[in-house]
Structure 1
C-alpha cells in the first residue's frame, strides 16, 4: 500500500498530483540545453514538505520512463525509508565507508517501475563532513551511471550546512516552501545562503497551496 504522502500514486487525478507532473515537465524544459540529472531538494526549515515533494517528483519522473534513484542525504532526520516502507540498515552511509558498496550499492526497488531508493543508512556523527567529502563525489558519480535522474533529499538549509555543501555537487537545487507556514525572511536567508556557495538554485516549490474550485472540479471528473 503506497504511503498517503505519495499522492501521485494514491490519488493521481487530483490537482496536487497534476502539479507534480507539471513540475516534472518544467524541469525537463528547463534542462533542454544542459540536462539536470542530479537534483537536490531542500527547504529553509523543517516541516515544509521537502521529502514529500522529492518522493512525488521521483514518482512522476519514473512514470515518464526515466530510471530514477531517490537518495536520502538527510543524515540527521532521514524519512525516505519511512515513506517507502524500506529497511534502513544499509544505505548512503555504508556506501560512503565500504568499498564493496560502490560496485553494489544497497539500492532498493520500489513498487514503481524505474524507481529505486538509497536510504540514509546508519547516521554518522559528522554528517556535514561526510556529505562534503571527495568520497561523496565518487558516490554521486557511481549513482549517476545507474540512473537518468538522481534526487537527493537534503536537510533544511538554515538548520545545518549540509545542503549548502551538497549543492556544489549537483546540477540543480529546488527550494521547498509551505504556504501558511514558511516565513519570508527564512526563504530569503535560505536563498542567500545557497547563492553564497554558488548553488545552482533553479526554483522553488510551494506546498499546501489552495486551488480554485473550478480547477478542482475539472480534475475530479
Structure 2
C-alpha cells in the first residue's frame, strides 16, 4: 500500500512489453487497473487531514514509468466522479501527449509564455471528467518557467476549476524541475522501477524532496512481475463471464 515515509504499491504496467498504455480506459477490468484503483484509494487516505488538490508524480530516473502511472491514476480518479486535470510539466521529454493521443503544439508553455487561457488549452480526453494539458513546445528554460509566478497562478486557477490536479514532472536526479514544483504541491509521489531503479538514486530523490520540505507521501513500485495464476484467480473470482477464461 502507499503510505507515508516510503510505503510501496506494486504495479505491472509492462505486460506484453506494451509501455505508455492507458489501461484504465482500454481495459478497465484488467488486474493492473484494480491496482490503480487501490492507489487512488491510498492517495485519499494519505490526504485524510487535508484534501489534496495538487499531486506531483515524479521519479528518480528516466524510464521508471511515472507518465503511465500519472495518466492511469487520473483516469480512475475521473471514473470515480472527480473532475481531474493531468498536466504534463515535463518540459524536457514530455510523454503524456503520446498516451492521450493529443497534439503537443499547444500546452503548458503556451500558457506560461504567451498567456493563453487554461480553458482553451486543456483537452477533455474522457467524458468521465478527465482533462489534459500537454507540455507544449519545448522551451529553452524549463526550470525558470516552472518556478515563475505565472506557474503559481496557473496552479491556483486549476485548483479552483478541478477537484484534483496531477502533475507529471521530469526525473529528479538529472534536473531541479521536480524539486522546484514539489514545494508548491499538496503531495508528491515517487515512481520507481522494480529491479532497475538503483536504491542510492531512490534515496537521493527522497533526500531532495525532504530538503525541499515537500510532502512526500510514498513510493510506487512499477513493473513488478506477478505470477500468472494471480491474474487467473482475479478473473475467475471477480467476473463470471468470458473474462474468466482470460490468461496472462
Query: TM-score band, normalised by the shorter chain?
Result: over 0.9
With normalisation by structure 2, the TM-score equals: 0.84
Kindly indicate whether residue 191 of structure 2 is the aligned counterpart of residue 168 of structure 1.
Answer: no
- Aligned partner of 1:130 in structure 2 is 145
Q: Which position in structure 1 is the counterpart of 2:65? A: 49
**Partner residue, 1:178:** 193
User: In structure 2, what is the equivalent of residue 64 of structure 1?
Assistant: 80
What SS does the aligned partner of 2:105 have?
coil
Between 1:90-99 and 1:157-166, the stretch displaced more is: 90-99
In 2, Cα distance between the equivalents of 1:90 and 1:68?
Answer: 19
Report runs of 4+ in structure 1 exceeding 6 Å deviation.
none
In the aligned structure 1, how far is the partner of 2:176 from the partner of 2:20? Answer: 30
Q: Deviations over 1:143-194 (max 9, x none)?
A: 1111101000000010100000000111000000111211111101111111
Equivalent position to 2:110, from 84, 88, 94: 94
SS state at 1:123 partner? coil
Gaps of 5+ in 1: none
Tell me how large the CA RMSD over aligned residues is: 1.5
Asked if the contact 1:59–1:112 (Cα under 8 Å) also holds between the matched residues in 2, the reply is no
* Structure 2 counterparts to residues 1-221 of structure 1, below 5 A: 5-101=21-117, 104-221=119-236
Larger Rg belongs to: 2
Mapped to 2, the partners of 1:141 and 1:173 lie a distance apart of 17
Q: Which runs of 5+ in 2 are unaligned?
A: 1-18, 237-248
- When normalised by structure 1's length, the TM-score is 0.94
